[in-house]
Amino acid sequence: MSSIKTRLEELKTSTMLFGLFFLAAIAVAKTVLLTNDDGFASTNIRAAYRELKKAGHDVILVAPVLQRSSWGGKFDLPDSPTLNYDGEFGYVKAGDPSWGHEADDNRIWYFNGTPSSCVAFALDYVIPEHFGNVTVDLVVGGPNEGPNLSPGFYTVSGTMGAVYTGIYRGIPGISFSGSDFNNSFYKDSLNTAKDSPANIYAGKVVELVDKVLTSGGLPHGVGLNVNFPTVGTLNSKCSDPQWEITRMMGSGIFMQSLNFNSKSGLFDWNVTYYDGILDGCDVGDCGLSSEYEVYLKNDCRSTVSIFSIDYDASINNSNKVRKALDM
């Protein structure tokens, strides 16, 4: 009799533990809109999609059919119901619809538009028409193929453009950028290797997404900009980069620039650091290091910068200008 009683108590405990684990899984499982600017068939986004789904999230992937890096927040729409050219990696062909989903997965969509318009396509068409207008809890951009550091890239990055488009719509967002410059087709490169940068980044995406969602989310109008260091096969000393809160802005910024190429007769695209842009720190936590200061050390830390879409000047600068204008 005592053995039966003990067994019943064990079953009761197991049932309670299962119930707690089940409730915990429900608590963290949310609807995530996943996008990027490197194309819906790129390796990094497919690794993130796989790992977010494995973590229990309801993931809807909507991303450009073409590489759309550096398009910022530009809003671009298809000018034809069918494609006039092949999509990225030739995965979608000329003559195919300008928008659609994977034949075997209706949660993976492409759109012939910019990252920003992909978010609108998801929120205004895909989700209302195909997913019962489910509430999106978080917009996740990336991981981008290359870093997006400082406000200069906040402005120009298509990945960040997608994220702040979601934030404008009242949905919190996180932009993730890697250091792998991995412009590769997922059918050629996606694997389960532990030292694959795409897989390491995807695991860290899940880690931070879960932190945000289980903590109650981000305040309205606020997002995160994350830059990963080199990892795995690109840096054998770094397989689990640690988080460090940083400032997006330092005393200067990295910004796009150009040079005239006398051989081609055209202009070359460059990135230049412009120092002394600010006289000092006027907004945010002035005690933090800038994200590029931490990133350039390459010591296995991922920068996490908290940004706002409120572009109004600080009260200090606002008062200076009002005084100068006598207004």
Burial-class residue 70 by CB neighbours within 10 Å (0-12, 13-18, 19+): middle
Q: Which residues pair with 242 in a beta bridge?
A: 301
Please state, in angstroms and rounded to a whole number, the distance separating the CA atoms of residues 159 and 247: 19
Q: Which residues pair with 202 in a beta bridge?
A: none
- Tokens read off for 315: 């009260």
Please state, in angstroms and rounded to a whole number, the distance separating the CA atoms of residues 17 and 61: 33
Active-site residue, 302 included: no
Residue 256's CB is within 10 A of a number of other CB atoms, namely 13
Asked if 272 contacts 255 with a C-beta cutoff of 8 angstroms, the reply is yes
- Tokens read off for 314: 């600080």
Please state, in angstroms and rounded to a whole number, the distance separating the CA atoms of residues 288 and 308: 16
Q: Do you know the residue count of the chain? A: 327
Q: How far is CA 211 from the centre of its chain?
A: 15
3-state helix, strand, coil in the chain (%, to 5): 35, 25, 40
Q: From the candidates 42, 116, 177, 302, give the one annotated as an active-site residue.
A: 177
Q: Residue 33 half-sphere exposure, CB side, CA atoms within 13 Å? A: 33
Report, as residue numbers or ranges, the catalytic residues.
177
